């Protein structure tokens, strides 16, 4: 019996404290069984998520923050929030953990070939965008896409994820990276202000461009109108949603918006798709 609720046995390989306040940590998990690893990477597409599982603490859906080429591990960046996330924050390298996935649809990277990309992220929701960008920046994929513009906003510089890699990105000549923080700080070289305002300031061109937006609900709510104002058509604006989930495979019922299940039909939707659904996010 292939049971869709049974997690792969995994181990935590590495834990990285991402932010200065330690509310965000990245966990790199490796597979206990080779066949699970093969099964996972056969299906994995950036933008998907997994149900991480700690017995006694339940499960939590977390976006995948690593690209397949990085190696035989899966990275998750987790914010300490509730029962499960507090438990995983207490775990260390070497601890066992369960994982189900990859789940959901992921970004339709195939459809974006030949187009420019505008990547807009806010806070910890940047993780799947990070995986996607990493995937695209790989030499074997980079040529398939046009210009890449990234805008990443955090409340302050200490809350910025993946700092070393983002520093590298700043130095690359095949992409433009804008970073923003909410309030001014000493020695800050980049933008200051909320993401929607900064986006309006840098005013990227919508021509042949796909906008991918992931962030907290408030940011999403105010950024979408800016994109529309910049003349991005709704079918070219992609965003990834979050919901409370249990099964992750469209059975348990709770993550629906209208007749779509975020776990199965999402988490990535175009603005156009969302406009056709009831307003219940």
Partner 1 sequence: MPTKWISRKDLKKLPDQWLKQYDVYAPIQNGHELAFQLVKESAQIVWDVPSNPRYPAKSLFLPQSEVLMSYDGILHSVEKVERPKVLFGLHPCDARAIRLLDHALVDEQNPDEYWKSKRQSTIIVSTACISPDESCFCTAVGGSPFNTADSDALIVEVEDEFCVYVLTEKGGVLFSKLPDAEDAQREKVEKLTKKVEAGMPKAFPKKKLHDNLLASFETDFWKEVSQSCLGCGVCTFLCPSCFCFDIADETVRKERVRNWDSCMFRTYSLEASGHNPRPTKMERTRQRVMHKFVYWVDLVGEIGCTGCGRCVKYCPVNIDIRAIAQDALHREFEGMKK
Partner 2 sequence: MPNTRDQKIQAEAKRLLQDGVVDVVIGFQKGTLPYKMQPCFISRADEVAKLTLNGLCSNNLAVYLNHWPKGEKTAIIVRGCESRAIQTLVLENRHARENLYLIGVPCIGILDLQKIGQQELQPVLAVQEEGDQVRVTFGNGEKLFKRNEALHDACLHCNHPQPLNADVVIDEAGLFEDGSFDKSYLHAFRNLSAKKRNEVFRAEAERCIRCYACREACPMCYCEECFVNHSRPQWIDSTIAPSGQQGWHIIRAFHQTGRCVSCGACERACPMNIKMTYLTDLLNQDMAAEYGFEAGLDAAAAPPFLTLGEDKGKFTGEQEEDHAN
Under rule CB under 8 A, residue 83 binds partner 2:
yes
Going by C-beta distance under 8 Å and a sequence separation of 6 or more, which residues neighbour residue 60? 51, 52, 78, 82, 84, 85, 88
Under rule CB under 8 A, residue 56 binds partner 1:
yes
Under rule CB under 8 A, residue 94 binds partner 1:
no
Under rule CB under 8 A, residue 113 binds partner 2:
no
> Cβ 198 to partner 2, closest distance in Å?
38
Under rule CB under 8 A, residue 98 binds partner 1:
yes
> In which order are the strands placed within the sheet that holds 148-154?
191-192, 175-181, 148-154, 116-122, 209-214, 237-240, 268-270
Under rule CB under 8 A, residue 138 binds partner 2:
no
Residue 142 binding target from partner 1, partner 2, none, CB below 5 to 8 Å by type: none
| Length reported for the chain | 281
Q: Which residues of 62-81 are buried (b: 16+ CB within 10 A; e: fewer)?
A: bbbbbbbeeeebbbbbbbbe
The answer to whether the CB of 192 falls within 8 A of the CB of 216 is no
Give the Cα separation of 157 and 159 in Å (integer).
5
* Residue nearer to partner 2 on the CB measure, 33 or 83: 83
Options 82, 94, 96, 278; binder of partner 2; rule CB under 8 A: 82
> Cβ 264 to partner 2, closest distance in Å?
24
Give the Cα separation of 273 and 270 in Å (integer).
5
> Binders of partner 2 among 53-72, rule CB under 8 A?
58
Partners of 63 in the β-ladder = 49
Under rule CB under 8 A, residue 252 binds partner 1:
yes
* Residue nearer to partner 1 on the CB measure, 115 or 281: 281
Compute CA 58 distance to the chain's CA centroid, rounded to the nearest angstrom. 22
What residue ranges bind partner 2 (CB under 8 A)? 58, 82-83, 86
What residue ranges bind partner 1 (CB under 8 A)? 1-7, 9, 32, 53, 55-60, 81-85, 96, 98, 217, 242-244, 246-247, 249-259, 264, 278-281
């Amino acid at each position: 019996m292939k049971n869709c609720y049974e997690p792969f046995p995994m181990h935590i390989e590495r834990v990285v404290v991402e932010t200065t306040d330690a509310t965000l940590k990245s966990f790199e998990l490796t597979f206990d069984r080779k066949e699970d690893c093969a099964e996972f990477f056969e299906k994995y597409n950036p933008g998907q998520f997994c149900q991480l599982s700690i017995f006694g603490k339940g499960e939590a859906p977390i976006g995948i923050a690593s690209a397949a080429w990085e190696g035989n591990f899966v990275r998750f960046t987790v914010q300490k929030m509730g029962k499960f996330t507090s438990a995983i924050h207490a775990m260390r390298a070497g601890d066992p953990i369960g994982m189900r996935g990859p789940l959901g649809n992921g970004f339709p990277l195939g459809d974006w070939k030949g187009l420019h990309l505008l990547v807009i992220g806010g806070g910890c929701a940047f993780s799947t965008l990070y995986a996607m960008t990493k995937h695209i920046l790989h030499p074997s994929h980079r040529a398939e896409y046009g210009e890449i513009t990234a805008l990443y906003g955090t409340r302050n510089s200490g809350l910025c994820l993946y700092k070393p890699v983002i520093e590298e990105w700043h130095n690359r000549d095949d992409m433009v990276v804008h970073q923003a923080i909410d309030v001014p700080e000493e020695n800050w070289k980049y933008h200051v202000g909320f993401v929607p305002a900064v986006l309006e300031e840098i005013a990227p061109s919508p021509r042949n461009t796909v906008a991918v937006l992931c962030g907290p609900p408030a940011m999403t709510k105010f950024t979408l109108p800016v994109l529309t104002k910049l003349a991005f058509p709704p079918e070219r604006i992609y965003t990834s949603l979050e919901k409370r989930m249990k099964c992750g495979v469209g059975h348990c019922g709770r993550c629906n918006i209208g007749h779509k299940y975020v776990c199965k039909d999402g988490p990535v939707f175009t603005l156009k798709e969302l406009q056709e659904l009831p307003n219940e996010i």
